[in-house]
Amino acid sequence: MTMEREKEPMQTIGDAWRKGAAALREAGVDEAEANAELLLLHALGIGKAELLRDLREPFPDSRRAEWERLLARKAAGEPVQYIVGGQSFCGRRFAVTPSVLIPRPETELLAEAVLLEAERWQGAELTALDVGTGSGALAVTLAAERPAWRVVASDLSPDALEVARGNARANGVEPRIAFVQGDLLEPFIAADRGGAAREGLAADILVSNPPYIPSADLPGLQREVREHEPRLALDGGADGLAPYRRMAERMSLLPQLPRLVAWEVGAGQAEDVAELLRSAADWSEVRFVRDYAGIDRHVIAVRR
């Protein structure tokens, strides 16, 4: 009697996770296991608890082609957030596309600093302006956390504004955010254009995470950032300070000086940006907020 050949054991979900992480490591992907986990959750349409529960379950054949496709995209250097279509920020999920910068954890500290500093005006109907809103992470967070505020979000990119508007809708705050296309502070400065008077925006809070990478440093960025995230959201000019310089120079043309200015900056730029703000107005305080790596990442200027 001929013995039947023993069948190869069916690959489990846990096997797929381990092999996927190994393939990503071999491709030079940082944090390969964490990336493989996010891709696996997306491929299977499950949460972390379900993944841990079902590690020994057979990997569904119906999802195998999709799993391999996702791994190939990540191995080629595409950011996992673009692959799965989203990123968490301050406890909320934001859709992200290659039209917008992926929200970073350090930017959550900027949102927290603004909310904390503004507690002194608790109950006031403040107007907050988010310049260069990108995905809308800051604008949506401020609108969600402070329902009494009026929030205005601007961006030079119409595609970014569409992403931001969708995120505002998904998080239930779209009716309370005005979206404006334009370059930095220009849409909010009162001016006479072609004989037509244009009323500026009287903002109490000005928050921004503008491009701050020096142009010459762009080729040295991580592959995921250099090849996939929008250059418009990265390139800060020759020294990385061009957007701050322009905002500081034009701030006096706003209908009123903001009570609070909060800007994210690149490593080593905090003192230079602080000097730009000091030259623009007389502030009660200018201070820095450090990120998780101990870098002065945010410049906060307050007028009391």
User: Are 130 and 161 a contacting pair, CB within 8 Å?
Assistant: no
212 is in an annotated binding site: yes
171 is in an annotated binding site: no
134 is in an annotated binding site: yes
252 is in an annotated binding site: no
157 is in an annotated binding site: no
Amino acid in the structure at residue 29: V
132 is in an annotated binding site: yes
209 is in an annotated binding site: yes
Sheet of 260-264, strands arranged across: 177-181, 150-155, 127-131, 205-208, 260-264, 296-302, 285-290
Cα–Cα distance measured from residue 135 to residue 194, given in angstroms and rounded to the nearest whole number:
33
135 is in an annotated binding site: yes
Q: Tell me the two tokens of residue 219.
A: 């080729």
Residues of the binding site for S-adenosyl-L-methionine: 132-136, 155, 209
Residues of the binding site for substrate: 209-212
Residues of the binding site: 132-136, 155, 209-212
